[in-house]
Chains A and B, each alone.
Chain A
Amino acid sequence: DGGITQSPKYLFRKEGQNVTLSCEQNLNHDAMYWYRQDPGQGLRLIYYSQIVNDFQKGDIAEGYSVSREKKESFPLTVTSAQKNPTAFYLCASSMQGHTNQPQHFGDGTRLSIL
């Protein structure tokens, strides 16, 4: 089945550590997105990529980094510079240039501090 796979489902980070969240899609979508969700809040955009080897900062990019070396993959690294990383992270994808197509979401990764 086509979809978006995020791993791991749960992740724990130690002080000063970088951690990487995986996002893979087999929908042949050009655009991919990373969101952060805090309790009782909507989703906030961290980074997005509309094409391979290109990405743009979203509203809360500080303390995060991404890469887009393959169309199918858009990993997110939470660096030690992100002082409040505990949140639910969601990856999404959509057809680029097709505003009549919805965004599809993975099942998320919950990141906590040890």
Chain B
Amino acid sequence: KQEVTQIPAALSVPEGENLVLNCSFTDSAIYNLQWFRQDPGKGLTSLLLIQSSQREQTSGRLNASLDKSSGRSTLYIAASQPGDSATYLCAVRDADKLIFGTGTRLQVFP
């Protein structure tokens, strides 16, 4: 059974720092991996989707990498801002559904 783990569970950094969020999964037979952002009391916003055949995806200050063979993905946030404060969730897709990690709660303070 696929299990997805995210480390750390919470992270607090000063504005301007570059940071890395980690996601690991136990079964490498995935179709893709997706990173989401969730603000308090809100739904999920898709940030990046990496296909199983891809190594990384970039969008603005965000870069996500995927190493399927080792069951790992990282989300790199460059030059963090207070507006980046949110919970970040990763999810892997099997044939027809997503399996989610428990998230990393990020706080960026001025």
Binding site for B on A (CB under 8 A): 4, 6, 31, 33, 35, 40-45, 48, 50, 58, 88, 90, 92, 99-108, 110
Closest Cβ–Cβ distance, residue A92 to chain B (whole Å): 8
Query: Is B32 within 8 A of A42, CB to CB?
Result: no
Query: Is A42 within 8 A of B89, CB to CB?
Result: yes
Quick one: which of A31, A45, A102, A108 contacts B41, CB cutoff 8 A?
A108
Closest Cβ–Cβ distance, residue B48 to chain A (whole Å): 9
In the bound complex, residues from chain A placing their C-beta under 8 Å from that of B46 are 102-105
In the bound complex, residues from chain A placing their C-beta under 8 Å from that of B25 are none
Query: Is A103 within 8 A of B34, CB to CB?
Result: yes
In the bound complex, residues from chain B placing their C-beta under 8 Å from that of A33 are 97-98
Contact with A along B32-67 (1 / 0, CB 8 A): 101010000111111001010000000000000000
Known interface pairs A43-B98, A108-B42; 4 further A-B residue pairs with C-beta atoms within 8 A, sorted by A's residue number: A58-B97, A90-B44, A99-B31, A110-B41
Residue of B44, B89, B96 with most partner-chain A CB within 10 A = B44
In the bound complex, residues from chain A placing their C-beta under 8 Å from that of B45 are 105
Q: Bound complex: CA of A73 vs CA of B62, how far in Å?
A: 33
Binding site for A on B (CB under 8 A): 4, 31-32, 34, 36, 41-46, 49, 51, 89, 91, 93, 96-98, 100-103
Residue of B32, B89, B97, B100 with most partner-chain A CB within 10 A = B97
Interface of A is mostly: strand
Q: Contacts A99-B31, A102-B49 given; indicate if A43 touches B89 (C-beta within 8 A).
A: yes
In the bound complex, residues from chain A placing their C-beta under 8 Å from that of B89 are 42-43
In the bound complex, residues from chain A placing their C-beta under 8 Å from that of B101 are 42
Closest Cβ–Cβ distance, residue A23 to chain B (whole Å): 11
In the bound complex, residues from chain A placing their C-beta under 8 Å from that of B100 are 35, 42-44
Query: Is B102 within 8 A of A42, CB to CB?
Result: yes
Query: Is A103 within 8 A of B102, CB to CB?
Result: no
Q: Bound complex: CA of A40 vs CA of B51, how far in Å?
A: 27
